[in-house]
Amino acid sequence: MNQPPEPSQSAQRRRRKAYLPPGSLVSSSNGGGEPVGIYLCQYGRDSYLDSRVESADGLAQRLSSDTGANAWITVEGIHDAETIESIGRQFQIHPLVLEDIMDSSHQPKVEDHEQYLFVIAKHLQWSPDAKRLQVRQVSMILMDEKLIVFQESKEDIFAPIRERLRSDRGRIRRMGADYLLHAVLDTLVDGYFLVLEDLSDAAVAMETAMETDPSEALLHSLHRLRRQGILVRKAVWPLREAVSALARRETRLIREETDVYMRDLYDHAVQVIEATETLRELLSGLLDLYLSSMSNRMNAVMKVLTIIATIFIPLTFLAGIYGMNFKYMPELDWPWAYPALLGVMLVVAVVMLMFFRRKKWL
């Protein structure tokens, strides 16, 4: 007897959060029992300090003694409600925002809370071995000279940004925290291009396989790939509106010198959407190709069966005539009647085959 499927993490979270007051912190992410990692990066024009923070308690006071101009706090893991609540209490983040941070099912968005800017985006990673797309949420709180990043993944997905800060490459250490927000979002968008490229390569390989052997297993793989494409589309489309709001500088936290970079980021988001639509059309075309290949294969089989049935129609007619038990049939007393009838049947079959070949039906 088949067991019913287990509810998803988002469904489990909705059940745990049912009838709780707004702002109740219930995580939809499974941390696997691992502690939350907190990393503090403090940097300025001539200074850089990167360290791990053991506890979220006292984090705000630690920033007050910083010699650098900007601070970047990274929280790896959103399953610990106490840590998220402690950070929210120290930096005066609204409980509803903290609730959204712990809910990984939110779509990308931007919210202006006057004192800070709340941004949600998605981190996409394609696993070629498992043929599966991993979607992780990244939440960002932009304040004056501070950026707090809450990421669902335990991986250091922003290592290139840390290296740029460490080696003082580019203008990132001479810009504000809003430029750091741009760098984080730009890293996520660049990852979208890589994921779309991997999905497109998988689609092209599937197209080649369909042309040679459109099997049922290939159809299942196509449906799985289409579902991954839908996940990409759900993560990318809302991001365009979010980045557009940042590019319009509707908040004081986005400075004028960062505006041009936000507009460039918006252009990249549009390019990602165009690539997503191209992938969607490619996958839809693959389904049409599969159906067309199966139809052509079925037509070929039906053509062969029809030709065989057509050849046997006159042969069956002749056999039916001489199979009748009439007493007076002139050919019944002829010694060569049987081989003559077989010869006539053979000649009829050969003539029909030659006719079909001449008509290019074979």
CATH number of residue 128's parent domain: 3.30.460.20
Which of 293, 310, 341 finishes a domain? Answer: 293
Name 141's bridge partners. 118, 148
> How many other C-beta atoms are found inside a 10 Å radius of the C-beta of residue 232?
23
Residue pLDDT tens, the chain, 362 long: 444 444 555 555 555 554 455 555 666 566 555 778 889 999 988 888 888 888 888 787 777 655 557 999 999 988 888 889 999 999 999 999 999 998 888 889 999 988 999 999 999 988 877 678 888 999 999 998 899 999 988 888 899 999 999 988 888 988 989 999 999 999 999 999 999 998 888 888 888 877 777 777 888 888 888 888 888 888 888 888 888 888 887 778 888 889 899 999 999 999 999 999 888 888 888 888 888 877 878 888 888 888 888 888 888 888 888 778 777 777 777 788 788 888 888 888 888 888 888 877 77
- Which of 253, 274, 293 lies at the terminal end of a domain, its last residue? 293
Distance CA 126, CA 57 (A): 36
- Residues 58 and 184 both lie in one domain: yes
Residues 65, 189: one domain? yes
Q: Which of 238, 271, 293 is a domain's end point?
A: 293
Same domain flag for 194 and 340 = no
Both 206 and 179 in a single domain? Answer: yes
Q: Note whether residue 2 is domain-resident.
A: no
Question: For the chain, what is the domain count?
Answer: 2
Give me 115's structure tokens.
Answer: 């004192």
| Residue type present at position 238 | P
Residue with tokens 């609540």: 85
Q: Which domain holds residue 215?
A: 9-293
Alpha helices in 18-94 (DSSP H): 59-64, 81-90
Full-model pTM: 0.76
- Residue 42: CB partners within 8 Å, gap ≥ 6? 48, 49, 50, 63, 66, 67, 68, 70, 71, 72
Distance CA 19, CA 29 (A): 20
Task: Give 74: exposed, middle or buried? Use CB within 10 Å, 0-12, 13-18, 19+.
Answer: buried
Contact between residue 75 and residue 141 where contact means Cβ atoms under 8 Å apart: no
Cα-trace Rg, the chain: 34
Task: Please tell me the distance from the alpha carbon of residue 221 to that of residue 201, in angstroms, as a whole number.
Answer: 14
**Same structural domain for residues 220 and 316?**
no
Domain containing 345 — which CATH number? 1.20.58.340
